Amino acid sequence: MRADAGLLLKVVAFAAEKHRNQRRKDPDASPYINHPIELANVLLHEGGVTDVVVLCAALLHDTLEDTQTTSEELALQFGSEIQAIVVEVTDNKKLKKRKRKELQMKHAPMLSTRAKLVKLADKICNLRDVASDPPPRWSLRRRIEYFDWAKSVVDGMRGVQPRLEAVFDATYALRPAAQRWRRHSKPAVRKPRT
């Protein structure tokens, strides 16, 4: 247990340093490190996941994608098991966003069990953020589309961990409702005849 705690603290310190100048897209521009910490928290406390390798990968899941961290650096610092999971859940930022989203849906069923757990926790946390504190410029339509896309990704990973999937389903229930605006025209006012 002591070694696990030491490794987790080493990973948190590494992730905090790598994300030190980054902010989330929420209205308060909260520190980015809050996001990977929340993933680990969801995995442990809501999903019952105690695998320290998965928790470490969750804390590091965006370092390759959003910082100057290399895959080799992760392997050297934390070992090949953790590095392999982070690589699995990392999008190729050289691709356009639409293509990256398509690839997430396509690759989700083929991820390792550990990578699926990290991906599932990421979708839970992202949906919670979009539901409670969406980026200021996100329209209702974009938020709804994000919820639906995230569900498509998660649907490709079903069966990996029913407890976390139930958490995702409860979070998906926060999906904003599409609003239809009906135009109400004023009834025609007739001028009285004189």
Q: Catalytic site residues?
A: 65-66
* Residue 47 tokens, joined: 């999903």
DSSP per residue, 20-54:
TT-B-SSTT--BTTHHHHHHHHIIIIIT----HHH
**Using N-to-C axis directions, what is the helix angle for 2-18 and 34-41, rounded to 10°?**
150
Q: Is 7 in contact with 52 (CB distance < 8 Å)?
A: yes
Three-state SS letters, 128-182: HHHHHCCCCCCCHHHHHHHHHHHHHHHHCCCCCCHHHHHHHHHHHCCCCCCCCCC
Q: Is 133 exposed, middle or buried (0-12, 13-18, 19+ CB in 10 A)?
A: middle
Q: Is 120 in contact with 157 (CB distance < 8 Å)?
A: yes
